[in-house]
Amino acid sequence: MARKIGWIAFLGLVVLFMAWLRVYFDGRQAFHRAEELSRAGRADEAIGFYDRALHMYWPGSPHTAGAVAALTRLAGEREASGDREGALHAWRILRSGLYAERGLYQPYAAIIARSEEHIAALVALLTGDETMKQSHLALLRQNEDPARGWSMLALAGFACWVGAGFGFIWRALAPAGKIKARPAFAWGALFVAGYGLWLLGLYLA
């Protein structure tokens, strides 16, 4: 039993490591390509690759951090030069890319807030209606995220549900195919509880 669990854990770690490698190298490639295009004066193309680097996020990613800094700089430079549409595009790319990284927490929340202020101000300037700034900013900041607490409960319930299913197979079923009463009751109750918590979390999130 312990050996099986060890192998499953090992295979899970291998899969996670391979996924991380893919994210790391894709982000690295996108960021370096964006830097090359930026140095060549092809800023519009560079923004697309910076956006790709943003989507290759993992906690502590230097390529995501570099893309955030570069897009912030490009947006600021365009705004300072009077290229309002170009600046608006860069700020929107930055904001949407950072929101794509959202999970149980939101990375770069302060940068998102800053980008939303610039987006609202630029929209007001481009439309010639200063009253739009506050209304557009409020629209950008509407929080329609699932409740994180209930989302975590749903994840915990799902893990409990799946784990109890495996536990039932390994502990409650005898080699001859017979069911052991006590383990079956315990793992079955855990299975039902996990399933219920998962549904509750999904409903309330």
Q: Name the token pair of 168.
A: 């039932």
pLDDT for res 150: 82
Residue 13 domain flag: no
Residue 5 domain flag: no
Residue 74 domain flag: yes
Query: CA neighbours within 13 Å on the CB side: how many for 66?
Result: 19
CATH number at residue 55: 1.25.40
Question: Do residues 113 and 90 share a domain?
Answer: yes
User: Sign of dihedral through CA atoms 51, 57, 62, 68?
Assistant: positive
pLDDT for res 71: 97
The boundaries of the domain holding residue 106 are 21-140
Distance (Å, rounded) from C-alpha 143 to C-alpha 146? Answer: 9
Question: Do residues 86 and 162 share a domain?
Answer: no
Q: In a 3-state reduction of DSSP, which class is residue 173?
A: strand
Report how many domains make up the chain.
2
pLDDT for res 22: 93
pLDDT for res 1: 54
Q: Name the token pair of 56.
A: 């290759």
Distance (Å, rounded) from C-alpha 202 to C-alpha 157? Answer: 10
Distance (Å, rounded) from C-alpha 39 to C-alpha 70? Answer: 12
Distance (Å, rounded) from C-alpha 99 to C-alpha 165? Answer: 35
Amino acid at 118: H
User: Per residue of the chain (205 residues), what is the pLDDT tens digit?
Assistant: 556 666 777 787 888 899 999 999 999 999 999 999 999 999 999 999 999 999 999 999 999 999 999 999 999 999 999 999 999 999 999 999 999 988 778 899 999 999 999 999 999 999 988 888 999 999 898 877 777 778 888 889 999 999 888 888 888 887 776 788 888 888 899 999 999 989 988 888 6
Residue after which a domain boundary falls, among 92, 123, 140: 140
Distances (CA, A) of 16 to 13, 23, 28, 163, 203: 5, 11, 18, 19, 29
* Predicted TM-score (pTM) of this structure: 0.73
pLDDT for res 144: 72
